Each structure stands twice: as structure tokens, then as C-alpha cells.
């Protein structure tokens, strides 16, 4: 009888030790989620549009025997240019810089002073030729630009985003089919940003003022691009 009890006790001890060293947890293995395959692709969307706004800089430089004389003459000239721009339909007129500095001769002596004033302004592209000519007539002797832009830039970018998603899906479908899988839903989207810039000009888009001597402004086209990274599930 004692031998039977000892054998039973030994069997229980072996079972306990087996649990301590870690037998497979069948319940835990059944609860583990299955890994889901996925594919990540890049999509690029592009929208072309003719810009409708132009930004330019207009400056005046004057000379004087003294700094006060140069600045005074420059102030009068700058006011004339600003008024001319307003009458030509320019908006968002902003002073960029005002400067005055001595002018030296060959011997290094100061022979006078030069004063400058520059403003930036935004016009509709159709009004840009008139603004340039009006500023020059008013006394502007320094002009730079135009920088072209679209007043509905945000709308154009959103359209490009939509095209980027469509392209990403088309790429993912090709890859999934080639690997013998089925494309599932989108699990994540990362926006990569946008770019836009002027494209080659088109002659038919040249905007000329009524006068044959007016400054021609050619808006061309701008390309707005959106880039995204999209992850799809696979089945």
C-alpha cells in the first residue's frame, strides 16, 4: 500500500515539474491573431492650371547732393509709383525696403547720395501689363517679376490629392494581381506634400494690353503636384 502511495506522489510531482518548465499553452496559441499582409505604394497626382495672379516688385532710385535731398526726392517718386499702381488695379501693395547710401567718386570722396524704395504688389494677370506700364510712367526704374500664382491654389492641391489616391490604388492593384493576391482596403495614408511651378509658356495664352506698345505678360501654366504613400491590406 505504501508503495502505491509513493508511486502516485511521484507521478503528481512529475506533472507539476512539467508545468513549471512550460508545456505549450494551447489556449494562448489559439487566441493569437493571424498576421495580415499589406502592400505600400506611392501615388502622385498632378493638376495643370493657368495662374490668374501676378506678384511684382517696383522700385525707384534717386540721387541727391545730400542724404536728405536724396530721401526727399525718393519719397515723392515712390508716392507717385504707389498711386499709379493703385489706379492700375494693383492690391496688397507692401513696402519691401527703403535705403540710402553715399556715392563715391574715383578718388574715394563722397559725391552724393542714392536713395531707394521698393514695393511689392499683386495684380490679376490680365491687369499686369497695365500695372507695369503705369509704374514706369510714374517713375519706377526698377521692376522684377512677375511671380505667377493661382488664387484657388488650395482647391487645385486637393484635386491633385484625389488623383494621387487613384494612382496609388491602380499601382497596388497591378502589384496584387501579379502576386496572385486580392487588394483589400486602405489601412494608412501618409501625405508627402505638394509642389507647384511654372511650366513652358503657351503663345495662345499671351495677354496683351490694348496698346501695341504695352508690356506683354504670358502666364503659361502651373503644375500642382501632390504625393502620398498608401498602405493596402492583401488577402
The answer to whether 183 touches 232, Cβ cutoff 8 Å, is yes
Q: How confident is the model at residue 185 (pLDDT cuts 50, 70, 90)?
A: very high
Peptide bond into 146 cis (omega under 30): yes
CATH of the domain at 177: 3.30.110.170
pLDDT of residue 213: 62
CATH of the domain at 124: 3.30.70.2970
- The rounded distance, in Å, linking the Cα atoms of 17 and 113 is 100
pLDDT of residue 224: 92
Same domain for 156 and 45 = yes
Task: Kindly state whether residue 28 falls inside one of the protein's structural domains.
Answer: no
Same domain for 132 and 59 = yes
Q: How confident is the model at residue 12 (pLDDT cuts 50, 70, 90)?
A: very low
Residue-wise pLDDT tens digits, 37-82: 899 999 999 999 999 999 999 999 999 999 999 999 999 999 999 9
Task: Kindly state whether residue 203 falls inside one of the protein's structural domains.
Answer: yes
The answer to whether 112 touches 63, Cβ cutoff 8 Å, is yes
CB environment 190-214: b (16+ within 10 A), e (fewer):
eeeebebeeeeeeeeeebebeeeee
Least confident of 54-63, 186-195, 218-227: 186-195
Share of the chain above pLDDT 90, in %: 65
* Over residues 20-27, mean pLDDT: 46
Domain encompassing residue 165: 38-50+152-234
pLDDT of residue 216: 79
pLDDT of residue 83: 97
The answer to whether 54 touches 216, Cβ cutoff 8 Å, is no
Q: How confident is the model at residue 205 (pLDDT cuts 50, 70, 90)?
A: very low
Task: Kindly state whether residue 157 falls inside one of the protein's structural domains.
Answer: yes
Same domain for 156 and 43 = yes
Mean pLDDT of the chain: 81
Residue-wise pLDDT tens digits, 89-101: 999 999 999 999 9
Q: How confident is the model at residue 31 (pLDDT cuts 50, 70, 90)?
A: low
What CA–CA distances, in Å, run from 80 to 5, 15, 59?
Answer: 117, 102, 11
Last residue of a domain, one of 118, 133, 149: 149
pLDDT of residue 145: 87
* Over residues 202-206, mean pLDDT: 35
* pLDDT over 60 at 35, yes or no: no
* Over residues 156-160, mean pLDDT: 94
**Strands of the chain, DSSP E:** 38-49, 53-64, 91-104, 110-124, 142-149, 183-198, 222-234
DSSP result, 76-129: HHHHHHHHHHHHTT-EEEEEEEEEEEEEE-TTS-EEEEEEEEEEEEEEEGGGHH
Which residues, at least 6 apart from 21, have a Cβ–Cβ distance to it below 8 Å? none
Same domain for 141 and 57 = yes
- Directed axis angle between helix 67-87 and helix 128-138, to 10°? 150
- The rounded distance, in Å, linking the Cα atoms of 164 and 44 is 4
Q: What is the pTM of this model?
A: 0.64
Amino acid at each position: 500500500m505504501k508503495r502505491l502511495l509513493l508511486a502516485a506522489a511521484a507521478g503528481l510531482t512529475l506533472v507539476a515539474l512539467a508545468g513549471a518548465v512550460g508545456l505549450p499553452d494551447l489556449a494562448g496559441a489559439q487566441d493569437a491573431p493571424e498576421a495580415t499582409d499589406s502592400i505600400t505604394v506611392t501615388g502622385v497626382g498632378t493638376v495643370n492650371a493657368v495662374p490668374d495672379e501676378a506678384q511684382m516688385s517696383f522700385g525707384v532710385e534717386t540721387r541727391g547732393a545730400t542724404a536728405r535731398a536724396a530721401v526727399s526726392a525718393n519719397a515723392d517718386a515712390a508716392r507717385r509709383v504707389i498711386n499709379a499702381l493703385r489706379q492700375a488695379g494693383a492690391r496688397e501693395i507692401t513696402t519691401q525696403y527703403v535705403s540710402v547710401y553715399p556715392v563715391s567718386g574715383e578718388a574715394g570722396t563722397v559725391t552724393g547720395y542714392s536713395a531707394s524704395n521698393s514695393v511689392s504688389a499683386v495684380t490679376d494677370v490680365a491687369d499686369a501689363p497695365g500695372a507695369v506700364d503705369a509704374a514706369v510712367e510714374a517713375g519706377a526704374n526698377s521692376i522684377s517679376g512677375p511671380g505667377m500664382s493661382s488664387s484657388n491654389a488650395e482647391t487645385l492641391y486637393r484635386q491633385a490629392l484625389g488623383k494621387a489616391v487613384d494612382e496609388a490604388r491602380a499601382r497596388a492593384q497591378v502589384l496584387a494581381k501579379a502576386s496572385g493576391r486580392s487588394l483589400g482596403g486602405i489601412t494608412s495614408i501618409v501625405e508627402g506634400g505638394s509642389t507647384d511651378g511654372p511650366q513652358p509658356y503657351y503663345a495662345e495664352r499671351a495677354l496683351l494690353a490694348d496698346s501695341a506698345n504695352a508690356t506683354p505678360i504670358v502666364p503659361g501654366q502651373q503644375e500642382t503636384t501632390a504625393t502620398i504613400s498608401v498602405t493596402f491590406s492583401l488577402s
